[in-house]
Chain A
Amino acid sequence: MEIQVSQVNSRVPVAVLKIIGELNADTSGQLDAEARKVYESGTRNLLLDLSDVPYISSYGIRTLSEIFNLLRAGSPDENDAALDKGLRNGSFKSGHLKLLNPTQQVRRVLNLAGVDMFLQSYDALDAAIASF
């Protein structure tokens, strides 16, 4: 798996991580490490470009969940109570972690595991960046 990192400065700075390859038990650690590196460098907004990810396993889902929790840790509007309330009424959307263009197979797994309930997916880069 390969991860290409780029920075886009829009309303807020956004790190775009383009992932090329599968997100599974063997590769997810690489994404986790890259996301933490970006986070430690001060970036609080991440867009994961999944257009070249043909497959995601439950391990990949776990990694998305970990990155989501990492980014919301310092965000009062995404604390546990707000998250709980938002998930109950279906209004919660992560403001700091978003997905770009997941493939049909990945979309299906995101849906089965309920990840689409808290991570929004976008089809176009411009729209994704503008949403932060």
Chain B
Amino acid sequence: MSADQVKESLVAQVPLFAALPRSEIAHLAGHLRLVDYPAATLLLREGEPGDRMFVLLEGEVEIIKALGSDDERLIAARAAGDFFGEMSLLETAGKRTASARTRTPVKLWELSRADFETLLHRRPALAYEMLREISQRLRTAQEGRIADLHEKNRRLTEAYEELRAAHAEIVEKEKLDHEMDLARQIQERILPRRLPQPDGFELAARVVPARAVGGDLFDFIPLAPNLTGIAVGDVTGKGLAAAIFMALTRSLLRAEAGPLATPVETLRRVNGLLRDINDSATFVTMLYGVLDGDTHQFTYARAGHELPLLLGPCGETFTPDAGHAHPLGMFANPAIDERTIALPPGSTLLLYTDGATDVRDATGVRFGWDRFCAAAQAGLGDSAQQFCDNLWQAIAAFQGAGEQADDVTLAVVYAK
């Protein structure tokens, strides 16, 4: 078999040309240019002008839309016997409607636009054959596009649902943040902003909540010209619920405190009222005392709270003995520890909540009693507010990047 005969035989095996008469096959065999390409060769680029079509003899070619973009999609694969690149030749100065890239090494025939047009004029039947094939391809492409749209729609619905859930979450969080913000404002307004300054003493306080709002409280209540009620308390818990319970406790304390009621009587009444209205297990430790400007004495009642720390004029520290005492709300008739301590001129009385000694650094080490005492002693001679601020600075510096787990409250009385 001669080389021409071999070529004619190959042309005759292509389904598109199979029905052509021998003379036409011989003519085509003379005009088709045989070329080889390695795998991954880009034969056509979408959007570029098309000047030839191809008939695949060996290997595979991928037809790709939107090549190189996020939307890239393989729309078809062509195998031996298939033709491709014909679409742009059907339009004048038509552009490639897709890209074509070899998947394997290929052997193909190229047919120029001029040869293609001449062939169609000479053999209109070939146009029908091509139209049938193109029509089939269009249907397949359309079905693929519909499947694509379904998939895109499904993803959009999914994304919409996720967006809706995220939006609901944000709204809920904003609502909660708003509530927490309101609670913090209420708490700030509840706690005294202006402190009484009884003759012979300086008073100061500082609360640093662990969250936006906390369960710690302090109060300075003018009871009589020479008597000032002072309280520090700690509700078991944190956050909004603790803050509400704190506000309630402080209101009850304000209502029950008076110049004629001893601190123990006051706390017993507060305990009774808390027990009446609180059926949960929440309770509050509190130290409430009356500062007497005449005697320079502080008589306090302690309900399960931390002991006060007294710093003498020379820096010596003193903590009273701990008598029996229960937190408020724990029992109907709690034990309450009552003491009287003298505040000589130059001494500083420090009331606090356990958050102050329990602060931890980033490695989990507690601030502890010894560091707390040393930091307090370092403020010897400071004004009450300066003492308070410096002590908090020392606590905060120790804490560093550590998380504040509990509210910190400091209340200071400096005897002039």
What residues of chain A have their CB less than 8 Å away from a CB belonging to chain B? 24-26, 55, 57-59, 61-62, 65-66, 69, 80, 83-84, 87-88, 90, 109, 111-114, 117
Asked if B322 is at the interface of the complex by the 8 Å CB criterion, the answer is: yes
> Looking across the interface, which residue of chain B has its beta carbon closest to that of A112?
B322
Q: Which of chain A's residues have a CB closer than 8 A to the CB of B406?
A: 25, 57
Known: A57-B406, A58-B234, A59-B237. A113 touches B285 (CB 8 A): yes
Q: For B237, list chain A residues within 8 Å (CB).
A: 25, 59, 62
Which one of A69, A88, A112 lies within 8 Å of B306 (CB-CB)? A112
Q: Which residues of A contact B366 (CB under 8 A)?
A: 55
Contact A117/B327 with A25-B406, A59-B236, A112-B304 known, Cβ cut-off 8 Å: no
Interface of A is mostly: helix
Min distance, Cβ A45 to any Cβ of chain B, angstroms: 21
- Can you sample 25 A-B contacts with CB below 8 Å? A25-B405, A55-B366, A58-B234, A58-B327, A61-B236, A61-B327, A62-B281, A62-B282, A62-B283, A65-B283, A65-B330, A66-B281, A69-B281, A83-B331, A84-B331, A84-B332, A84-B333, A87-B331, A109-B354, A112-B305, A113-B285, A113-B325, A114-B304, A114-B324, A117-B324
8 Å CB contacts to A: which residues of B340-366? 354, 358, 366
B239 to A: closest C-beta gap in Å: 10
* Whole-angstrom CA separation of A25 from B407 in the bound complex: 12
Q: Which residue of A lies closest to B210 (CB)?
A: A25
Give the docked Cα–Cα distance between A57 and B360 (Å): 13
Complex alpha-carbon distance, A35 and B332, angstroms: 24
Nearest A residue to B305 via CB reads A112
A28 to chain B, nearest CB (A): 9
Per-residue interface assignment for chain B, residues 316 to 340, with 1 indicating a CB less than 8 Å from any chain A CB and 0 otherwise:
0000001011110011111100000
Q: CB distance B332 to A114 under 8 Å? A: no
Cα–Cα distance between A62 and B324 once the two chains are bound (Å): 17
Q: Which residues of B contact A (CB under 8 A)?
A: 234, 236-238, 281-283, 285, 304-307, 322, 324-327, 330-335, 354, 358, 366, 405-406
Contact of A58 among B285, B322, B326 (CB under 8 A): B285
Contacts of B306 in A (CB 8 A): 112
A93–B325 Cα gap in the complex (Å)?
Answer: 16
Query: Shortest Cβ distance from B154 into chain A, in angstroms?
Result: 42
Q: Which residue of B lies closest to A109 (CB)?
A: B354
Q: Smallest CB-CB separation from B284: which chain A residue?
A: A58
A25-B238, A58-B354 given; 18 more Cβ-contact pairs under 8 Å: A24-B405, A57-B354, A58-B285, A65-B281, A65-B283, A66-B281, A69-B281, A84-B331, A84-B332, A87-B333, A87-B334, A88-B333, A109-B354, A112-B307, A113-B326, A114-B326, A114-B330, A117-B324
Across-interface contacts of B354 in A (CB, < 8 A): 57-58, 109
**Identity of the chain A residue whose Cβ is nearest the Cβ of B285 in the assembled complex:** A58
Whether the Cβ atoms of B335 and A87 lie closer than 8 Å is yes
Closest 4 CB pairs of A and B: A114-B326, A113-B304, A62-B236, A58-B236
A114-B326 Cα distance, complex, nearest whole Å: 5
Q: Roughly how many angstroms separate A62 CA and B283 CA in the complex, as a whole number?
A: 7
Closest to A65 in B: B330
